[in-house]
A and B are shown apart, each in its own frame.
Chain A
Amino acid sequence: MNDVAKIRVDGLRKEFGEVRALDDVSFEVSGQEFVSIVGPSGCGKSTLLNVLSGVEPATAGTIRITEGERRARLGYVFQSARLLPWRTVRDNLLFVQETRDAAVRERCERYLDMVGLAHTAEQFPGQLSGGMQQRVGIARAFSIEPDLLLMDEPFSHLDAITGRGLRRELHELWTRTRKTVLFVTHDVSEAVELSTRILMFAKGGRLVSDQRVDLPFPRDGSSDEVALARADLLRRFESLDLLAT
């Protein structure tokens, strides 16, 4: 497939004054991977996304995110939906598009439909529940047809049942589109359920483990295989002493 983003991160370091948020991080991601980034709070997970997206400059190291010859287009899903409350759901999707021609409009409607919210297009975000708002946020990120999707704990603010439903939806979207995804989470079960690969960070922003998850999809978050894989991962991670700096 041509629709493949490649990320190459080499010797990446990020410091905020004296505090080291990312320490000599190197990894590569090839297309169609769903990569989760896990680790304890303050290990630099969100910083990594901010640096990758260019919102924060890196202190040292190189980042290359390319799609063939051109720069890759990035889509984002944040912890909270971050919708413009004064624009309708449809206009929130249109806001992030480069053009507004018929094809783009049709695409926005299609992604709204994929998250089951086509009927809310005329509504304002304030009229939707938190879970629905987050689905609009996901539709928005997919609707620009990004080469790479960056997701920063998108389900952490939702209740367990809503979160479960959305994980399933995200997985379906990913199966249909096979976008490259970098997914930050502190929830190892979530990572096991969704990812093809898990990067583990430790305090001080060190990348300490890079694991493939070789379970067949679809994965049931409450199944024994996922529980076993999760327990196995947690044991490995514990042996890595993540909290030591």
Chain B
Amino acid sequence: MSDSRLARAGWRIAGYAFFLGLWQLASGTVLDDVLLPPPAAIAGEIAGIAASGELPLHFFTTVSTIAVGFAIAYVLGAAIGLLMGRSRWWEAFLGDGVMAALTTPGLVFALVTAMIFGLGNLGPVVAVIVTSFSYVTVNVVEGVRAAPSDLVHMSRAFGRTRTQLLRHVYLPFLAPYLFTAARYGFSVAWKIATLSEVIVGTAGIGFMMRRSFQEFNMTGFLAWVLIFFAFALFLERVVLQRWMRRTLAWRPEVAA
């Protein structure tokens, strides 16, 4: 098992080496190095941003937009998902609205919230909520519909209370769905947060991207993109996956 783990880490590093190499080769040959600066230049730019003391302000502006927006979206999305999964009436009432939210391009919400809330942080937060809640909803609906009726029946037969049922049957059963919801929802949330900041931000990673764009500074632009990429990767690989492995340890395919 650890052998295959090692091999996978090797392939992952090889993947990075391959694409960075390709990038290095293309820079200055396929595209002018102003349009495609080499990786080393971006790394230098990131170091410069870190040294300038700008990083924490913009980083935390964006992260807090996502954190607040996505937390609200998650609770809202899960609540709507529970309602829709458990009742056909609520599904009829809310279903098309959720589908509309799911299929509308994020840009539409970014623009609408920009017009309503103007410059500042509120627009991006609202944009994150309306864009990402539906991803949570559809996953929760699916989970609630698949609820294990035989285990519920068993618990009732043994006289378990509703609280016990919720804690020991429904929640553990829904956990994989909630994780999937968190991953999809989060990936959408961070995209829309940056996009919205590009339009109305007065600080944040998206705002810095806009500034780099206006200055036609591709090095700066890509540096901010990579900073965010590193953060998103950290959340997904380290935080979410570890948490998931611990919660889902009972599943043979997770334990392996």
Q: A80-B150, A84-B168, A84-B172 are in contact. Are A74 and B157 (CB under 8 A)?
A: yes
Q: A78-B150, A80-B150, A95-B168 are in contact. Are A85 and B250 (CB under 8 A)?
A: yes
Q: Is B252 an interface residue when CB atoms closer than 8 A count as contact? A: yes
Chain A residue numbers with a CB within 8 Å of B175 are: 86
Per the 8 Å Cβ criterion, residues 60-100 of A in contact with B are: 74-76, 78, 80, 82, 84-87, 95-96
Pick the contact of B250: A75, A82, A87 (CB < 8 A): A87
Chain B residue numbers with a CB within 8 Å of A82 are: 150-151, 153-154
Question: By the criterion of a CB under 8 Å from any partner CB, how many residues of chain B are at the interface?
Answer: 20
**Complex contact B157–A55 (CB within 8 A):** yes
Bound form: Cα–Cα A86–B16 in Å: 37
Q: Is A237 an interface residue when CB atoms closer than 8 A count as contact? A: no
Q: Is the interface of A mostly helix, strand, loop or mixed?
A: loop
Per the 8 Å Cβ criterion, residues 112-139 of A in contact with B are: 124, 126-127
Per the 8 Å Cβ criterion, residues 137-192 of B in contact with A are: 150-151, 153-158, 160, 164, 168-169, 172-173, 175
Q: Is B5 an interface residue when CB atoms closer than 8 A count as contact? A: no
Chain B residue numbers with a CB within 8 Å of A189 are: none
Q: A85-B250, A87-B168 are in contact. Are A95 and B151 (CB under 8 A)?
A: no
Chain A residue numbers with a CB within 8 Å of B151 are: 82, 84
- Could you list some 15 contacts between A and B, CB below 8 A? A53-B157, A55-B157, A75-B158, A76-B154, A76-B157, A76-B158, A84-B168, A85-B250, A86-B173, A86-B248, A95-B168, A124-B249, A126-B250, A126-B251, A144-B158
* 4 tightest Cβ-Cβ pairs between the two chains A and B: A86-B172, A82-B154, A96-B158, A124-B250
Q: Using a CB–CB distance below 8 Å, which chain A residues touch chain B?
A: 53, 55, 74-76, 78, 80, 82, 84-87, 95-96, 124, 126-127, 144
